[in-house]
Amino acid sequence: MPKKILLADNHEGIRKLIRGILSQRLDWHVCAEASDGFEAVERAKASCPDLAILAIGMPRLGGLDAAKRILNDCPQSIVIADSLQDPIPLLAEIKKIGVRGFVSKTRIGTDLIPAIEAALSGKTWVCLEGEDRPMNLEEALQTTRRMVWAPDPTFEGFSCSNCRWRISNEEAGGLKNIQQSFQAHTCMDYPQRKKAAGI
């Protein structure tokens, strides 16, 4: 029996593109579509799909909030998120919610099928820009934690390059403490950094 897939995106063109990709597989079937997060939750309640592909930036209810509700109502469902946003600030929240994968909309054509295959086989999947291979979510989190903390020239200390989190040298009390503080840091606790404006 084909795997039932719920597809939710507020852009009809993206839904059409994804439908075309999924139609290449006889073992996958789009059982429902939605154009916003609330509709996605209602369609999921009605069909309890094997997999839901949710756009993060949907109106009325975003994809991650919709994912929480769908996984609460249909705990056997698997969720993959897609977006044009950089996934790095979202990885901790994605993992916490239980979303199994993230696909950039700019790479739907190449990344969606392997992401679905990984999720359906019980794995997690994300492909970060600049990395030479896809990773599971835990690997991606560790990679981004290594990547993003750096000395901050705007003050005496270090900051996260994705958000407004920072720690002063005086507050940290040494490099080892800075590293420990950063390992406990998640970008979702802080507003996103505006790149042009700095901290």
- Average of per-residue pLDDT across 44-67: 96
Please indicate whether residue 158 or residue 61 has the higher confidence score (pLDDT).
61
In this structure, are strands 78-83 and 51-55 parallel, antiparallel, or unpaired? Answer: parallel
**Rounded CA separation 156/176 (Å):** 16
- The percent of residues above 70 in pLDDT, for the chain, comes to 74
Q: Which long-range contacts (CB under 8 A, 24 or more apart) does 137-145 make?
A: 137/91, 137/94, 137/95, 137/100, 137/101, 137/102, 138/95, 140/87, 140/91, 141/91, 141/92, 141/95, 144/88, 144/91, 145/182, 145/183, 145/185
Please indicate whether residue 96 or residue 170 has the higher confidence score (pLDDT).
96
- The percent of residues above 90 in pLDDT, for the chain, comes to 58
pLDDT at residue 171 is higher than 90? no
Asked whether the beta carbons of 49 and 32 are under 8 A apart, the reply is yes
Strand order through the sheet with 166-168? 149-152, 157-160, 166-168
For position 124, what pLDDT does the model report?
96
- The residues, any chain, with a CB within 8 Å of residue 32's CB and separated by 6 or more, are 6, 7, 43, 44, 46, 47, 49
pLDDT at residue 146 is higher than 60? no
Please indicate whether residue 174 or residue 20 has the higher confidence score (pLDDT).
20
Q: Where in the chain is the domain with CATH 3.40.50.2300?
A: 3-135
pLDDT at residue 40 is higher than 70? yes
Q: Is the pTM of the predicted complex or chain greater than 0.75?
A: no
CATH superfamily, region 3-135: Response regulator (3.40.50.2300)
Please indicate whether residue 137 or residue 184 has the higher confidence score (pLDDT).
137
